[in-house]
Amino acid sequence: MVSRLALAAVNGHGAADAAPVTRHDVRMGVLVDFLTGCQWRSLTAGAVSRQLVTALDTWHHESRWLEIELRRLLDGDG
C-alpha cells in the first residue's frame, strides 16, 4: 500500500483524494523491491519519501538508457 500511495503522490494526486495506482503499474515493482531491501519503517516519512523518489528516478534513468542502447543496436550502430 505504501508503494501505491507513493506513486499516487508522484502522479500529482493530493493526500485527500489519493487514488492509488493499479497493482499492474510497472513502477510498483521498483518501489516494492526498494522497500523490501531496506529497513524503511525505522525512517521518517520524509526520508522514506526521498528514498522512494530517488529509487523511481534511478529506475527511470536506467530505463531510458536501456531504450537508447536497444535502439542503437537495432539501428545497426553497435
Cβ 38 vs Cβ 32: under 8 Å: no
pTM over 0.85: no
Domain of 55, in residue numbers: 2-74
Instruction: Please state, in angstroms and rounded to a whole number, the distance separating the CA atoms of residues 5 and 28.
Output: 10
Neighbours of 30 (CB within 10 A): 20
Q: What is the pLDDT of residue 20?
A: 66
pLDDT digits (tens, 9 = 90+) for 32-67: 999 999 999 999 999 999 999 999 999 999 999 998
pLDDT band with cut points at 50, 70 and 90 for residue 22: confident
What is the Cα–Cα distance from 30 to 4, expressed in whole angstroms?
A: 11
Number of domains in the chain: 1
Q: Would you say residue 6 has pLDDT above 90?
A: no
